């Protein structure tokens, strides 16, 4: 039991990764940061809409969409995959809404029903398709979505310049897209998330924004998938915005804290994984959760001391 | 990109490979033989898989009912992920897959997860969904870390641990079935003994507290049983699909009944049916993995309940809606006939189609069609272009007109609505007022005889069948001789 946690060695855990293997380390931390911040920015709006677990549902049912697309096209390119992801995400949300509008089943149960059914259907389809020919199964770490594989990808070369691992570039593109969307449609997203009634009354089409957000969510999830795996992508959707909500009451502040939290948890998580020799993606989530607990206690302390101060003033 | 997709696909293939372990190793048999083999129960693997699936369906169905009625479905999801670190810790206890150690570790970790949700709800401003999502994600992340740590240790082959994440109903042994049987027995026993208490604490915690029930202890007990059920089922169906087995049969039962007791029985039955079908399907189909097939069977039951449930199903609701629309349509026609007769001061007892068409601003052909519909329900008789009430139709028409005018009067008198604003509202309410409400309204309005527009309100005496004289007085003698 005691051999499980190695002795903490500052030099080995913190110094060496940045001195001997700087590029490797940098790509992994960068990928972790990109995934966590892209997921976190979208997650802020999910949290405001009390839809945190819809991300969970969408990420699971993604399997069905990808399998169906694969069965139809046999060959899958980025745009097709993204399209399939967006379609599946919106289909899931649509089915959830259908179930709880058309019957007395509550939304939470409807979410569970929809995504587990889609997931099961995907698995069954996969196992039926598998009969066609044996598919090579790659490293076991893919099971958990191993972020360290990112650094091993052959870098994308464009015009003689080495740009970096393609999945990092893709994730960067998705993050850039999310940032642009958040900046351009800041007002619309803000109003429709905080007060759907007001949004409707000033002429916003809340349904469009709702489904647009779901499409963005699906794209972020599908891009984050290979790096961190389905459920850890959900963690990146929920944990950074929760920590940010502890730090700030206002949306711009929250968005900024989300990015900061993402960067910190990617960095801390990486070193945690080096220390404990465990999955980097899992460690990033654990680090993020730890930061959330820290944020909670800081807030609690501030409130406590604030009370003491105000009491002594009186 | 191709490579990325390949990773994704292999990720899922690994899942399915874990899940797709077949019950049957025999490949070259026809489906019928295979089915016969299944029902002969000769293979011990068939017996274990079937027994395990049935027990799992029973146990999950029972516990899931409480999740569904208390809106805790996502709690099941969160709990099933939160047990993962406990599974790893239980394995670490002595580096073997000791079922008891793993069971204890997983249950403790699940309860810790439930406790964390509670603490987050109490001490932070985060909503239920965020708290659940946090527990689900962070516990799962910790579980993954522990799994990979074990895997990197000498002697820590994690091959056996994957089973908990993705489930293998086909590979259930006597020990697993015994464990499931024990947990199911405990659930059934506790629910049977404390059914009334659980019901009260679930539906009305405030009242339960007031009558002195230990609500918190009951809720904690429910969570404990739930954690037991999840941990025991995990080996068979895995993390994702155990939620499905908890929620889907219970949701199907929820659509079919309004009583918790019936719901528990139905849900347990559905769960067992799904479990049995899953075991059977994966044995006969050979390529169908057990867990997902089980879930699909449960989903099929849910879809049937959603579509054809007698009270809450979509078809039933649609049919009720249709009947209501048809009734309103007929009643509006009856009212129009009444109005036409009234315009003629009840001098004749027949209304013409042309007059009705003018009154309702519709084409005579449409009026004719509507009248035929009303005739088919026995409210009027048709003779060429003329229409006359049957006694039953006369009564209903009077009721509708009375409801309409009473409501107008009520709105102008009691709610101070302007007389020219009350018609539309009354137009909708006239079809809904029951006799009891009408009596109250009449009393409240001092049995008034005239509506705000000065028209007569046909009273009780006018519309009671078989009392034509009473009706005649109501219309100042204008209605004599009418059926």
On whether the CB atoms of residues B340 and B386 are closer than 8 A, the answer is: no
Report the range of poorest mean pLDDT among A137-151, A194-208, B33-47, B403-417: A137-151
**Percent of chain A, pLDDT > 70?**
83
Instruction: Enter the DSSP assignment of B22.
Output: -
Mean pLDDT computed over B325-352: 86
The values of phi and psi at residue B456, to 5°, are -75, 140
Q: Is A153 helix (H, G, I), strand (E, B) or coil?
A: coil
On whether the CB atoms of residues B405 and B457 are closer than 8 A, the answer is: yes
CATH number assigned to the domain comprising residue B368:
1.10.10.10
For chain A, what is the radius of gyration of the CA atoms?
A: 21
A238 touches chain B (CB under 8 A): yes
Tally of structural domains, chain B = 2
Interchain pair A76, B302: CB under 8 A: no
Whether residue B86 is found in the same domain as residue B214: yes
B2 occurs within a structural domain: no
Whether residue B84 is found in the same domain as residue B201: yes
B48's CB contacts (< 8 A; 6+ apart) are B172, B173, B174, B176, B177
Higher-pLDDT residue of A167 and B471 is A167
What's the pLDDT at A153?
67
Residues B190 and B66: their CA atoms lie apart, in Å, by 13
Partner residue opposite B124 with nearest CB, options A237, A289, A296: A296
Interchain pair B149, A108: CB under 8 A: no
Q: Where are the domains of chain A?
A: 21-129+143-149+166-308
Most confident of the ranges B91-100, B120-129, B184-193: B184-193
Whether residue B106 is found in the same domain as residue B201: yes
Q: B110 burial class (0-12, 13-18, 19+ CB within 10 angstroms)? A: buried
Confidence of residue B63 (pLDDT cuts 50, 70, 90): very high
The token pair at A219 is 């794209």
Whether residue B86 is found in the same domain as residue B196: yes
Closest-CA distance of chain B to residue A7, Å: 14
**The pLDDT of residue B2 is above 60:** no
Interchain pair B14, A143: CB under 8 A: yes
Q: What is the ipTM of this complex?
A: 0.87
Q: Which residues of B touch A1 (CB under 8 A)?
A: 92
What's the pLDDT at A242?
92
Interchain pair A167, B287: CB under 8 A: no
Give the structural domain span for B172.
Answer: 49-243
Q: Which residues of B touch A106 (CB under 8 A)?
A: 68, 71, 73
**The pLDDT of residue B332 is above 60:** yes
CATH number assigned to the domain comprising residue B119:
1.10.3470.10
Residues B258 and B63: their CA atoms lie apart, in Å, by 17
What's the pLDDT at B148?
81
Whether residue B335 is found in the same domain as residue B237: no
Residues B403 and B360: their CA atoms lie apart, in Å, by 19
pLDDT tens-digit readout, B102-119: 888 889 999 999 999 999
Whether residue B350 is found in the same domain as residue B203: no
Mutate which of B4, B20, B270, B294 to test chain A, going by most A C-beta atoms within 10 A?
A: B4
B55 occurs within a structural domain: yes
**The pLDDT of residue B471 is above 50:** no
Q: Which residues of A touch B236 (CB under 8 A)?
A: none
Most confident of the ranges A66-70, B86-90, B271-275: B271-275
Mutate which of B2, B3, B8 to test chain A, going by most A C-beta atoms within 10 A?
A: B8
Whether residue B324 is found in the same domain as residue B224: no
A138 touches chain B (CB under 8 A): yes
Whether residue B334 is found in the same domain as residue B467: yes
Mean per-residue pLDDT of chain B: 81
Interchain pair A138, B7: CB under 8 A: yes
Q: Which residues of B touch A53 (CB under 8 A)?
A: 74, 77, 129, 132-133, 136
What's the pLDDT at B25?
45
**The pLDDT of residue B208 is above 80:** yes
**The pLDDT of residue B339 is above 90:** no
Q: Which of residues 40-99 of A touch B (CB under 8 A)?
A: 47, 50-53, 55-56, 60, 63, 66-67, 70, 75-78, 81, 99
What's the pLDDT at A307?
67
Confidence of residue B274 (pLDDT cuts 50, 70, 90): very high
Mean pLDDT computed over B294-320: 91
Interchain pair B7, A142: CB under 8 A: yes
Residues of chain A with pLDDT under 70: 1-4, 74-77, 129-146, 148-153, 156-163, 226, 231, 307-314
Report the range of poorest mean pLDDT among A152-156, B343-347, B407-411: A152-156
What's the pLDDT at A265?
93
What's the pLDDT at A309?
61
Interchain pair B244, A76: CB under 8 A: no
Interchain pair A140, B73: CB under 8 A: no
What's the pLDDT at A303?
82
Residues belonging to chain A: 314
Whether residue B109 is found in the same domain as residue B233: yes
Confidence of residue B413 (pLDDT cuts 50, 70, 90): confident
| Residues β-bridged to residue B382 | B387
Q: Tell the residue number behind the tokens 């697309």, with chain if given.
A: A69
Confidence of residue B481 (pLDDT cuts 50, 70, 90): very low
Residues B240 and B247: their CA atoms lie apart, in Å, by 12
pLDDT tens-digit readout, B363-383: 888 888 888 888 888 888 888
What's the pLDDT at B155?
64
Give the pTM.
0.81
**The pLDDT of residue B483 is above 70:** no
**For the domain A21-129+143-149+166-308, what is the CATH superfamily, name and number?**
ABC transporter involved in vitamin B12 uptake, BtuC (1.10.3470.10)
Closest-CA distance of chain A to residue B33, Å: 21
């Amino acid at each position: 039991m005691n051999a499980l946690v190695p002795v903490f060695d500052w030099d080995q855990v913190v110094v060496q990764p940045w001195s001997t293997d700087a590029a490797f380390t940098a790509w992994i931390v960068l990928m972790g940061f990109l995934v966590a911040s892209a997921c976190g920015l979208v997650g802020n709006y999910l949290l405001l809409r009390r839809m945190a677990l819809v991300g969970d549902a969408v990420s699971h049912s993604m399997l069905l969409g990808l399998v169906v697309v694969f069965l139809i096209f046999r060959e899958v390119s980025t745009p097709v995959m993204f399209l399939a992801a967006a379609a599946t995400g919106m289909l899931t949300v649509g089915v959830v809404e259908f179930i709880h509008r058309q019957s007395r089943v509550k939304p939470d149960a409807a979410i569970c029903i929809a995504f587990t059914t889609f997931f099961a259907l995907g698995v069954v389809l996969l196992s039926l398709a598998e009969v066609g020919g044996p598919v090579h199964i790659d490293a076991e770490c893919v099971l958990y979505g191993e972020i360290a594989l990112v650094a091993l990808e052959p870098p994308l070369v464009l015009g003689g310049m080495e740009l970096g691992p393609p999945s990092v570039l893709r994730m960067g593109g998705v993050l850039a897209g999310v940032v642009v969307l958040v900046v351009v449609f800041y007002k619309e997203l803000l109003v429709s998330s905080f007060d759907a009634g007001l949004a409707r009354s000033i002429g916003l089409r809340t349904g469009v924004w709702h489904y647009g957000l779901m499409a963005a969510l699906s794209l972020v999830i599908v891009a984050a998938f290979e790096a961190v795996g389905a459920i850890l992508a959900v963690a990146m959707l929920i944990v950074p915005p929760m920590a940010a909500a502890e730090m700030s009451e206002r949306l711009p502040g929250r968005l900024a804290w989300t990015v900061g939290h993402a960067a910190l948890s990617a960095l801390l998580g990486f070193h945690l994984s080096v220390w404990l020799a465990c999955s980097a993606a899992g460690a990033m989530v654990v680090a993020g959760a730890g930061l959330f607990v820290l944020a909670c206690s800081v807030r609690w302390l501030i409130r406590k001391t604030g009370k003491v101060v105000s009491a002594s003033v009186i | 990109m191709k490579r990325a997709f390949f990773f994704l696909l292999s990720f899922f293939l690994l899942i399915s490979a874990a899940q797709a372990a077949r019950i049957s190793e025999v490949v070259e048999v026809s489906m019928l033989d295979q089915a016969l083999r299944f029902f002969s129960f000769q293979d011990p693997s068939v017996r274990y898989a079937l027994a395990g699936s049935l027990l799992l369906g029973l146990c999950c169905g029972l516990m899931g009912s409480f999740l569904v009625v208390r809106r805790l479905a996502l709690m099941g999801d969160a709990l099933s992920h939160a047990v993962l670190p406990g599974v790893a810790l239980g394995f670490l206890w002595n580096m073997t897959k000791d079922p008891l150690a793993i069971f204890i570790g997983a249950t403790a970790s699940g309860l810790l997860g439930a406790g964390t949700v509670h603490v987050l709800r109490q001490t932070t401003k985060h909503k239920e969904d965020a708290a659940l999502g946090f527990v689900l994600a962070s516990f799962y992340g910790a579980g993954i870390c522990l799994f990979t740590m074990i895997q990197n240790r000498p002697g820590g082959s994690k091959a056996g641990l994957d089973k908990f994440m993705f489930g293998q109903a086909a590979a259930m042994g006597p020990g697993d079935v015994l464990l499931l049987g024990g947990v199911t027995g405990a659930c059934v026993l506790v629910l049977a003994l404390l059914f009334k208490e659980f019901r009260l604490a679930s539906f009305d915690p405030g009242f339960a507290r007031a009558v002195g029930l230990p609500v918190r202890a009951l809720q904690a007990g429910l969570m404990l049983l739930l954690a037991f059920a999840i941990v025991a089922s995990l080996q068979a169906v895995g993390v994702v699909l155990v939620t499905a087995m908890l929620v889907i049969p219970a949701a199907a039962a929820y659509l079919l009944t309004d009583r918790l007791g019936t719901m528990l029985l139905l849900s347990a039955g559905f769960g067992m049916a799904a479990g049995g079908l899953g075991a059977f399907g994966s044995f006969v189909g050979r390529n169908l993995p057990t867990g997902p097939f089980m879930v699909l069977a449960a989903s099929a039951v849910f879809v049937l309940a959603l579509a054809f449930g007698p009270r809450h199903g979509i078809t039933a609701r649609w049919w009720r809606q249709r009947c209501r629309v048809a009734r309103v349509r007929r009643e509006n026609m009856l009212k129009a006939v009444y109005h036409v007769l009234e315009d003629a001061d009840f001098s004749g007892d027949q209304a013409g189609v042309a007059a009705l068409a003018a009154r309702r601003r519709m084409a005579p052909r449409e009026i004719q069609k509507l009248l035929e519909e009303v005739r088919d329900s026995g409210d009027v008789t048709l003779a060429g272009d003329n229409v006359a009430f049957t006694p039953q139709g006369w009564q209903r028409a009077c009721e509708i007109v009375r409801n309409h005018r009473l409501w107008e009067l009520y709105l102008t008198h009691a709610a101070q609505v302007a007389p020219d604003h009350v018609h539309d509202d009354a137009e909708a309410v006239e079809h809904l007022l029951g006799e009891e409400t009408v009596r109250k309204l009449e009393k409240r309005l001092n049995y008034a005889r005239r509506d705000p527009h000065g028209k007569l309100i046909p009273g009780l005496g006018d519309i009671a069948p078989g009392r034509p004289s009473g009706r005649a007085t109501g219309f100042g003698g204008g209605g004599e001789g009418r059926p």
